[in-house]
Chains A and B, each alone.
Chain A
Amino acid sequence: MSDYQEYLAEREQIDLLIGEGYQIEHVTENLSGAFVDFKSKKAGDMKQLHIKTADGRKYFSVILINRNR
């Protein structure tokens, strides 16, 4: 899978969680990339995505910034 395809897959996963009402709760970045914790107020549970591509890491950051605005 090319980087771009991998990014699209990551983006889809992020969009899916956001669509289900999850919000980014916590971001841990380390040598393996970014681990993004999503929390749903409604369901009250947490889900984690491991975002590996550079474009994916840009994408969730945009969502985070938009939420802060």
Chain B
Amino acid sequence: MADLNTNLAGIKSPNPFWLASAPPTNSGYQVQRAFEAGWGGAVWKTLGDPILNVSSRFAAVSFNGQRVAGFNNIELITDRPLEVNLKEIYETKKKFPNHAIIASLMVEPKQEKWHEIVKRVEDVGIDGLELNFGCPHGMAERGMGSASGQVPELVEKQTYWTKEAAKTPVIVKLTPNITDITVTAESAVRGGADAVSMINTINSLAGVDINTWNTIPHVGGKGAHGGYCGPAVKPIALNMVAECARNPLINVPISGIGGISNWQDAVEFMLMGATGVQICTAAMHHGFRIVEDMIEGLSNYLDEKGLASVNDLVGKSVARYSDWGELDLNYKIVARINKEVCINCNKCHIACEDTSHQCIDMLQDSNGRPYLRVREDDCVGCNLCSIVCPVDGAIDMVELKSDLPPMTWNERQSAIGLLRQRNTVK
């Protein structure tokens, strides 16, 4: 059986599955139950000056029968005194010495505030710290969370202050509510971060009730923007992880977070550069025991791939993630419809005819039976037909050998540029 142990910037964990800082890690009771279920680590619900929460905190977006496709919350950080949390962290660490407990922290952007809280949480034996520069609601209005996480200088400074006092590894948790996450990731690294984690939640309004005209959720008829997470945010999070992983200036481990719901999602994040993953919504939706499937699935996958350790996955797809200008313009795929599998629902024809390149013909065979056929010469290989097709295996996207050599946009433009230069010299 493959080795699932991970080591993120010195934080050791029996497997790569950590609970993210959120309601599942609110208390010692919960974290201990999570460890019993098999979670390798837990990032404790963010500690700081205890806050006041509103009632009616969560909302979910369901899509075509899929419940909790996205999850929205307006909850703040812990509402319990620091001493209570520290006592439970201490007890939990004593019971589970080999599991990772990371203290998530959020205080005002002042050096003495960071020094004080770092010292107090490290005294109870945590394995690492995570700086919450991401919470987009409530705390941000007080200059904390994403408000400071959106300012590169503040990210660097607060990381630096933390590092001045910290003896354990410091993970900086980044907000996705920014145009380019690599900017703040670089700031964290400059401040001395031992690792970065991403993503926290994305600014959101889950919906508006079209009968009452209230926001969803609403607090006595009033709403405020929340933070979005769950399966819907996975592609956004994965891109941010990948962008950081391929940036040479961000040369620290990454803890991947955002929409991870199963072992396959975790593998994707690790292939794109994450050393481990954190999960919140999936645990809130299905309970702690989902980790059993995750561990078993990951373990089987590694065995099937002949990999000795989960660490062998980390970053293996990063080099394949590039810029658009480096893609081969002469690579060609086309759609091919398998007549035997196709149910003639015509969804591909409609999609192609109305919204793509009009290259799927509706034909009849000699017996008058309808069938669909792609005019391959006109197909641009956009994938839309195979995306809308409801039947697995009915449409294959197949690679065609091009009679032209590979050529990227960048190569093309520099060749045209060279021509221009030559003409000017003449």
A residues lining the B interface (CB < 8 Å):
2-4, 24-27, 29, 58-59, 61-62, 64-66, 68
Which chain B positions have C-beta within 8 A of A68? 415, 418
Among B357, B377, B378, which residue has the most Cβ atoms of chain A within 10 A? B377
A57 CB to closest chain B CB (Å) equals: 9
Question: Which residue of A25, A27, A62, A64 contacts B405 across the interface (Cβ within 8 Å)?
Answer: A62
A64 to B416, CA, bound (A): 8
Question: 9 pairs across A/B with beta carbons < 8 Å?
Answer: A4-B378, A25-B419, A27-B420, A61-B412, A62-B407, A64-B412, A64-B416, A66-B405, A68-B418
Q: A2-B377, A24-B419, A61-B415 are in contact. List 9 more A-B contacts (CB 8 A).
A: A2-B375, A3-B357, A27-B416, A58-B329, A59-B404, A61-B407, A62-B405, A64-B412, A65-B415
Among B377, B415, B419, which residue has the most Cβ atoms of chain A within 10 A? B415
Chain B contacts with A in 370-412, Cβ cutoff 8 A: 375, 377-378, 404-405, 407, 411-412
A65 to B410, CA, bound (A): 11
Q: Give the A-B pair count, Cβ closer than 8 A.
A: 42
B406 — nearest CB in chain A belongs to which residue?
A62
Is the CB of B98 closer than 8 A to any CB of chain A?
no
Decide if A62 touches B377 in the complex (CB within 8 Å). Answer: no
A27 to B423, CA, bound (A): 11
Decide if A26 touches B377 in the complex (CB within 8 Å). Answer: no
Given A58-B407, A61-B407, A25 and B423 touching (CB < 8 A)? Answer: yes
Which chain B positions have C-beta within 8 A of A66? 405
Is the CB of B330 closer than 8 A to any CB of chain A?
yes
A62 to B416, CA, bound (A): 11
A51 CB to closest chain B CB (Å) equals: 12
Given A2-B378, A4-B377, A58 and B330 touching (CB < 8 A)? Answer: yes
Chain B contacts with A in 329-344, Cβ cutoff 8 A: 329-330
Interface bits B324-358 vs A (CB < 8 Å: 1, else 0): 00000110000000000000000000000000010
A62 to B407, CA, bound (A): 7
Decide if A26 touches B419 in the complex (CB within 8 Å). Answer: yes
Which chain A positions have C-beta within 8 A of B415? 61, 64-65, 68
Among A3, A25, A62, A68, which residue has the most Cβ atoms of chain B within 10 A? A62
B417 — nearest CB in chain A belongs to which residue?
A27
Decide if A58 touches B378 in the complex (CB within 8 Å). Answer: no
Which chain B positions have C-beta within 8 A of A3? 357, 378
A58 to B403, CA, bound (A): 12
Interface bits B76-117 vs A (CB < 8 Å: 1, else 0): 000000000000000000000000000000000000000000
B404 — nearest CB in chain A belongs to which residue?
A62
A3 to B379, CA, bound (A): 10
A27 — nearest CB in chain B belongs to which residue?
B416
Which chain B positions have C-beta within 8 A of A64? 412, 415-416, 419
Decide if A61 touches B416 in the complex (CB within 8 Å). Answer: yes
A66 to B407, CA, bound (A): 10
B405 CB to closest chain A CB (Å) equals: 6
B92 CB to closest chain A CB (Å) equals: 60
Decide if B419 touches A65 in the complex (CB within 8 Å). Answer: no
A34 — nearest CB in chain B belongs to which residue?
B416
Question: Which residue of B375, B377, B411 contacts A65 across the interface (Cβ within 8 Å)?
Answer: B411
Which chain B positions have C-beta within 8 A of A61? 407, 412, 415-416
A59 to B378, CA, bound (A): 16
Which chain B positions have C-beta within 8 A of A26? 419-420, 423
A24 to B330, CA, bound (A): 20
A59 to B332, CA, bound (A): 14
Decide if A58 touches B404 in the complex (CB within 8 Å). Answer: yes
A54 CB to closest chain B CB (Å) equals: 9
A39 to B405, CA, bound (A): 24
Among A24, A29, A65, which residue has the most Cβ atoms of chain B within 10 A? A65
Given A25-B423, A58-B404, A59-B404, A65 and B412 touching (CB < 8 A)? Answer: yes
A12 to B375, CA, bound (A): 21
B327 CB to closest chain A CB (Å) equals: 12
Which chain A positions have C-beta within 8 A of B357? 3
Among B378, B405, B416, B420, which residue has the most Cβ atoms of chain A within 10 A? B416
B154 CB to closest chain A CB (Å) equals: 44
B412 CB to closest chain A CB (Å) equals: 4
Which chain B positions have C-beta within 8 A of A24? 419
